[in-house]
Amino acid sequence: MSPIVKKKGEKFTLPSKYLLFILALICAALMVVSFSTDALDKPVNTFAGFIVVPFQSGISSVGSYLHDRSEELAKIKELLDENAELKQQVDKLTEENTKLQEDKYELNNLRNLFKIDKLYDEYDKVGARIIARDSGNFYHTFIVDKGSADGIEVDMNVLADGGLVGRVSEVGRNWARVVSVVADNSNISGKILSTGDTLIVSGNLKTYETDGCVDFSQLIDADGLVNKGDKITTGDISDKFLPDILIGYVNDVKMDSNNLTKSGTITPAVDFAHLSEVLIILENKQTVDED
């Protein structure tokens, strides 16, 4: 007898293999739809905004409280030892400090020359708190507690510690998803600040977990002017990232096997492991419509 024939008086239930088949088809359809259009974004985002995000922000603050307390307890003993050591250092540092004061005076003069301190002042920014992180361990994405109600839009740039964190990839009413620079699927067009050479910065889970670095490639540097420690900022030709935002510092450079381009690794300017608040620039990069 066929498994879907209904017996008299028995409640109708779909056998699980058919259910599996139907749901698998739904999954495939979802994948195709979400890959090609963003028709699904709106209903899905509204659901998330009303049901999940309020809980997330609550639990997240409790979680960080517990974490902070447990860290405090563990650290008291460590801190006592450290304290004694630090007192010795204070004497040494006071001496050094006087010397540095002189250097600072010189630095200020140089800064005015380069106008570096005015770098990000021209953008309007809004602060946001991180309330959840990627549920798996493969990606470095996170959720912040500001959304379209606060004027956030997709592709806005996210900063912290004076460096680039990533960009907003999805927005709900009261939440936004940020894909960070170190995420394995992120690629950014960047440039070396000192020489202006362009390159591609791509997140890499493996190098990030082992050395705290991300990859860069496609650097054309025929004269060999790029050294370890050079600043890398976002490039002018990116259509998602505003220009001249610090990404990080060159960690190592090596020639590719084609003898034309160079690649290597970058230490990001942002400490992604201890990130809790970020700044979102309320300005999208101006792009030319191709239509």
Give the interface segment with other proteins, choosing from 33-41, 91-99, 262-270, 280-288 (CB under 8 A).
33-41
Q: Quote the CA–CA distance of 190 and 196 in Å, as a whole number.
A: 9
**3, 94, 124, 136: residue in contact with other proteins (rule CB under 8 A):** 136
62/113 with CB nearer other proteins: 62
Under the criterion CB under 8 A, does residue 200 sit at the interface with other proteins?
A: no
Query: Are 230 and 264 within 8 A, CB to CB?
Result: no
**Residue nearer to other proteins on the CB measure, 15 or 162:** 15
The CA–CA distances, whole Å, from 177 to 19, 37, 122 equal 32, 18, 24
Q: Which one of 42, 67, 104, 118 is in contact with other proteins (CB under 8 A)?
A: 67
Q: Which of 119, 154, 200, 205 binds other proteins (CB under 8 A)?
A: 205
Q: Is 112 or 185 the residue whose CB approaches other proteins more closely?
A: 185
Question: Could you give the CA distance from residue 72 to residue 179 in angstroms, rounded to a whole number?
Answer: 31
Please pick, from the candidates 24, 93, 220, 260, the single residue that binds other proteins as defined by CB under 8 A: 24
CA distance 261 to 259: 6
Q: Please, which residues have CB within 8 angstroms of residue 213's CB and are 6 or more apart in sequence?
A: 207, 251, 265, 266, 267, 268
Verify binding: residue 3, other proteins, rule CB under 8 A: no
Distances (CA, A) of 58 to 62, 107, 129, 176, 274: 7, 44, 12, 16, 19
Torsions phi, psi for 120 (to 5 deg) = -105, 5
CB of 165 to other proteins, least distance (A): 16
Contacts with other proteins by CB under 8 A lie at 13, 16, 19-20, 23-24, 26-31, 33-35, 40, 44, 47-48, 51-52, 55-56, 59-60, 62-64, 66-67, 131-139, 141, 143, 177, 184-185, 204-206, 209-210, 273
